[in-house]
Structure formats: structure tokens, C-alpha cells
Chain A
Amino acid sequence: MKENPNTDELLNGFIDGQLTERQRTELQRLFSHDPEIAHRLKKLRSCKAIVASLPHADAPSDMVERVKAALKKSPLSPAQPVEPDFQAAPGHLFFRKVVSAAAMIALVAVLAGVVYTILAPGKPAAPLPPGEGRTIIAKRVLEKAAPALTLPQFNATLQLKTDNFIAASAVVSAALEANGLVGKTPGTSRGKKGLYNVACTRQGFNSLLLDLEDLWPRLQSATLFVQTDRFGRPIAVDAVTIEQVAEIAAQNSLEKRIKLAEDFAVLNSIDRFLPGKEVFAASEPPDQALTIKPPKPRLVGPEETVEKPAGPVGPQQDIYLTIVVETSPLDN
């Protein structure tokens, strides 16, 4: 007999005892006439018996404790009603408000500082009076270059050529002596060349430059060789002014120092080929043009020097300058 779903349902109902009396009677009559149905009934009954014979497993013995523990964690647990802490809540909320306000104020202050730093216009530089001398310019540069931070070591050679070797050497020696700088190497007698190795602080260096200021107009040429790490080749700044020397030395990084020295070298070179002409910065309008007029060295004669306090020499030395005073070819 082909399996009939309705028959199977009746068979299952029969073994489960879920049939009516009439259904059971009819099914029993069917078994007696159809052994196939009877066999199917036996198989279904065996399946049911096998499943029903599976051993009973008991729950873990700590189930009550587990349920209680889970109920304690549950926010809906009636065993742990959620009641607001009326005593602590206002104080806690007030504290949070105060902390939030303080954080907001601090944030606004920081942001205001940043915005001011970015947007605030810089103080315009006071225009230089037409007749103001070189000393004032040098002082401004030197004041600006006052060491406030730890700056990189400055290694350079300053080559000063003159047609009056004796007078120039005397000025340099006097300046070094006035600033208490040691390490002088006497010039060779035959070649008329004086070599002065100076190791000093920036303060002493600035003071030395101020003392050499009057020597500059009397020189035939002044060249600064700034030592770099690039292939061991120094950057030569021809016709260098004393302000440029101070400004190059005052740069707070080697990269900036090299860049400035290269810029001065180019500008001085242009000025040399275009004597008396103004060099305008490309990014600035003509009325704010930077006028660079490197002095033409010219030796007039020795000037009296002013006694200066000795510059500090010691462990804070970061200026290493070699001053070379030599006679120009015209002096031979």
C-alpha cells in the first residue's frame, strides 16, 4: 500500500492515544486486513520508543543560584529594583556640569590662542630713518638675534681682505681683546695673513661684530664661508655685511642658516653687478621693497675702540669663527 499522509497521521495518533474511539476501531480493522500498515505501525512505534527511551538528563544542581545571579545582573529584575540614588544624583550632576564648563572654557581659550596666532597681523617693522647709521641696523639685528633658545653650532670662516693689513689686523686684535676672546693665531710674517680662531658664545659673538662694525667700510672685500654638511663645501657669501653675518649666525636651524646664506650670496652677487640699484623681493610690493646695498669695503684708517667687557667663554660656546685678515693683491 502506498504511503498516505492521512494514514500516517492516523497511525501516529493511534500510537499516541490521540484518536477517538471510532477512529481507533476503524484503524484496528485496517491493520487486520493490511499487514503493510501493521508493519508501518510497528516501525513508528519503535521509533517513538527509541526516542522515549533516551536517558533523562537533569539540570545543573546550581540552576537556582545561576538564575538568581542572572536576575541580579538583569536591569528588569524584580529582585534588584532600579531605584534612583536621590542623595548622590544632584551632587554628581553638579560636578559633571562644573567639569564640562571648565573643559569648554579651556577648549575655547586654546582655540582662541590658535586663531589669534594664525590671524593676528604681525607688528609692522618700524621704518628705518634715512640717515640712521649702520650701527643701529646692526644693533637691531643683534638684538633680534639674541639667543633665547639653544641654537645650532655656527662654524664659519670670515675672510677680510684689506689693502692695509697692519691697520686691519690691529682693529681685529683690539676687538678680540676687548671682548676677552682668546685663541688668536698670529699671522704669518711673509704672507701678511692673520688667522684668528674665535670660540665664543653668541653674546660674545654679537659684541665682537659690533666692535668690527667700523672696520667694514675700510675693507676691500669681506667673504663669509658658512660650513655645511653638504659634501663638505662651504657656502661663500661675497660682499657680506656685518648684519648678514649676525643674521646668518642667528638662525635656529642649520637648514635655515644655509638657505639664508645662499639667499644673501645671490642677492649680493646681483647687487654687485647692478651697483646702486634696488633689489625688490618678488612677493612684496615696491613700496615695501627690501633695499640691500652691500657696502663696498674701503679702508680709511684705524678707529679707536671702546673697552668692552669680556664675553663669556666657556662650556656654552657655540660660535666657532675663523677670521682671516689678509692683504689684497693691490697691497703687494
Chain B
Amino acid sequence: MRSQTNITIDDAALVEQCKSGDSDAMERLILRYQNRVYNAILKICANPHDAAELTQDTFVKVIENIDKFRGRSSFYTWVFRIAVNLTLNYCRRNARLGIRSLDAEKNHHDWQATTLLKQFLTNGRSPDPALVAQNKELCRLAVKALMKLDDDQRAVVVLRDIESMNYAQIADVLDIELGTLKSRLSRARCKLRDVLETMVK
């Protein structure tokens, strides 16, 4: 908690420096959040190239509108609000155009990965994160299951389970009520569970 407070204070200082035209402060803000923003966007859109473009657009909008940032919310959630909005708009646009990530459309599942996933779901055993990360096929299955969710549901899951935001921050980023967030997250996880169970059957 202490380190988080320090980060917040640092953010505020950097934001003020950035407002006064300090390009070094601008660079530091970008470097501080670029990986987290990129990772969250990538998990939502499932396309590395587009994720990079969206991350770039996010920081461009942040810099262009930094004078409008009044500090009512944290800079961190403000950046993520911009990032998630851009990404959800991208997803909706692609949905209209019928564009889907090729990775998400692959239908042949690795036997070892499905067995491992089945063990996790059947036995209720919590998976070892290192084991999951090493198993590319398992990761691919998880990403594919995520892509089966609605865009809004996927954003909630990513912000909670990957970015580890608390409910209040997620509600702030998505600009929704806390009750709406809870029900959306609940439906998202139940659907995710159903999708994963369907994959291992």
C-alpha cells in the first residue's frame, strides 16, 4: 500500500511536469504504464499489432488531453479508461466488419493442454501460474475462451484477473455502477467456466 501511495504521488508530480511541457516527465509516464496498458489491451483484443497501435493511441490521447486531467480519479485509472475505451471501440468496429483474430479461431486443441485444463476444472485444483505460462497451448485455450466473452465482459475479467484492479477502480475505468460491475463479472466468469468446460469435453 505504501508503494502504491508513492506511485500515486509520483504520478501527480509527473502529470504536473508534463502539463508544463516537460518531455522527460512525459516519457517517464509512458514508460511507467506502457507494459501494463499494452498487456491489458492485448488480452482484450488478442492482436499484438493492433494492441501496439492502441497503446500508442492511448498515450497520444493522454498527452493531448493531459490538461483536462483534474485528478478526481487516479492517473492510473484515467489512463486505463482511455485505453479500454479505445480498445472496446476497436472491438466493436471489428465485430461489425467481421474481423477476428486468427489465433482465436484455431480449432485444433492440444491433447496435453486440454488434459491439464480438465484437471484444473474437475478437481478444483488451482493451476500453477508458471505451469500455465509455460504451456503455450493452454494459454491459447484460455485466450480463446476469453474471446468467447462479450467485449464488455472480457474487459471486466481482464481488469480484475490480469490487471488486478479492485472493483471500485474497474467501475471507475468503465464508468459503471458497482452493482453493474459485480453482476457483469459474475456472468463473465460463469460463461468463461462454461466455455472452458466445453473445450475439455
Q: With A46-B120, A70-B60, A78-B63 known to touch, is A54 a contact of B143 (CB < 8 Å)?
A: yes
- Which residues of the partner chain B approach A228 to less than 8 Å between Cβ atoms? none
Q: Do most interface residues of chain B lie in helix, strand or loop, or is the interface mixed?
A: helix
Complex: chain B residue closest to A58, CB-CB: B35
In the complex, per-residue mask of A46-77: 1 if CB is within 8 Å of any chain B CB, else 0: 11111111111111100110110011001011
Q: With A5-B183, A5-B186, A50-B127 known to touch, is A64 a contact of B31 (CB < 8 Å)?
A: yes
Q: With A47-B193, A51-B142 known to touch, is A63 a contact of B129 (CB < 8 Å)?
A: no
The answer to whether B34 and A59 have CB atoms under 8 Å apart is yes
The answer to whether A58 and B39 have CB atoms under 8 Å apart is yes
- Which residues of the partner chain B approach A77 to less than 8 Å between Cβ atoms? 63-64
B37 within 8 A of A: yes
Q: Give Cα A5–Cα B189 distance, bound, in whole angstroms.
A: 12
The answer to whether A74 and B60 have CB atoms under 8 Å apart is yes
Q: With A59-B37, A59-B52, A77-B64 known to touch, is A50 a contact of B133 (CB < 8 Å)?
A: no
Q: With A39-B124, A58-B38 known to touch, is A52 a contact of B186 (CB < 8 Å)?
A: no
Contacting A51 at CB < 8 Å: which of B38, B51, B146? B146
Contacting B192 at CB < 8 Å: which of A51, A59, A71, A79? A51
The answer to whether A45 and B126 have CB atoms under 8 Å apart is yes
CB distance from A240 to the nearest CB of B (A): 79
Contacting A12 at CB < 8 Å: which of B21, B138, B182? B182
The answer to whether B162 and A52 have CB atoms under 8 Å apart is yes
The answer to whether A9 and B182 have CB atoms under 8 Å apart is yes
- Which residues of the partner chain A approach B120 to less than 8 Å between Cβ atoms? 46, 49-50
Q: With A60-B52, A70-B56, A74-B60 known to touch, is A46 a contact of B124 (CB < 8 Å)?
A: yes
Q: Do most interface residues of chain A lie in helix, strand or loop, or is the interface mixed?
A: helix
In the complex, per-residue mask of A186-206: 1 if CB is within 8 Å of any chain B CB, else 0: 000000000000000000000
The answer to whether A54 and B142 have CB atoms under 8 Å apart is yes
- Which residues of the partner chain B approach A53 to less than 8 Å between Cβ atoms? 127-133, 142
Q: Give Cα A66–Cα B187 distance, bound, in whole angstroms.
A: 38
Complex: chain B residue closest to A48, CB-CB: B161
The answer to whether A71 and B186 have CB atoms under 8 Å apart is no
B87 within 8 A of A: no
Q: Give Cα A30–Cα B161 distance, bound, in whole angstroms.
A: 25
The answer to whether B31 and A54 have CB atoms under 8 Å apart is no
- Which residues of the partner chain B approach A9 to less than 8 Å between Cβ atoms? 182-183, 185-186
- Which residues of the partner chain A approach B59 to less than 8 Å between Cβ atoms? 63, 67
The answer to whether B166 and A47 have CB atoms under 8 Å apart is no
- Which residues of the partner chain B approach A147 to less than 8 Å between Cβ atoms? none
A13 within 8 A of B: yes
Could you tell me which A residues sit within 8 Å of B by CB distance? 3, 5, 8-9, 11-13, 16, 18, 39, 42-60, 63-64, 66-67, 70-71, 74, 76-79
The 3 tightest CB contacts between A and B, nearest first, are A42-B124, A53-B132, A59-B38
19 contacts between A and B (CB under 8 A): A5-B183, A8-B186, A45-B124, A45-B126, A46-B124, A46-B125, A47-B193, A49-B132, A51-B146, A56-B39, A57-B38, A57-B48, A59-B35, A63-B38, A66-B56, A70-B60, A71-B60, A71-B63, A78-B63
16 additional A-B residue pairs with CB within 8 Å, beyond A54-B133, A59-B37: A9-B185, A12-B185, A16-B167, A18-B166, A42-B124, A44-B189, A47-B121, A47-B193, A48-B189, A50-B120, A53-B131, A57-B38, A59-B35, A59-B39, A64-B30, A78-B21
